[in-house]
Homo-oligomer: A and B are copies of this chain.
């Protein structure tokens, strides 16, 4: 698979994909004789993983560390597990924050829907913040 196809598949730019490879967010990708990237299934799995992790804010630094450990072989299995658990804790923390923000936005929007109908913006006694 060419870089163009992979980029389209995951909706990222070629620059981003080359950058990921350059810094080690994904292992080195296989090439044609001419030196042009030709992604294997394996390569694509790594890309998919990177895109997913990045979309949840897992730092590039952490993905690099994971790939490095992976390439060192089975002796790093516990280290990799620990890294994944750290990442998970971080993602969960953010998930909770995002949920809290959704709750706040839903409340505010419900007040605004009301205001658009009645022409008056009101808040519960608890929330005398008027914003």
Contact = CB atoms under 8 A, between A and B. Distances in A.
Interface in A72-131: 74, 77-78, 80-81, 84-85, 87-88, 91-92, 94-95, 97-102, 104-106, 108-109, 112-113, 115-116, 119, 121, 128-131
B91 A105 contact: yes
Contact of A84 (B49, B95, B105, B128): B105
Interface residues of A, number: 47
Given A85-B109, A108-B84, A98 B98 contact: yes
The prevalent SS among residues of A at the interface is helix
Interface stretch (A2-10, A31-39, A51-59): A51-59
B97 A109 contact: no
A73 B80 CA distance: 54
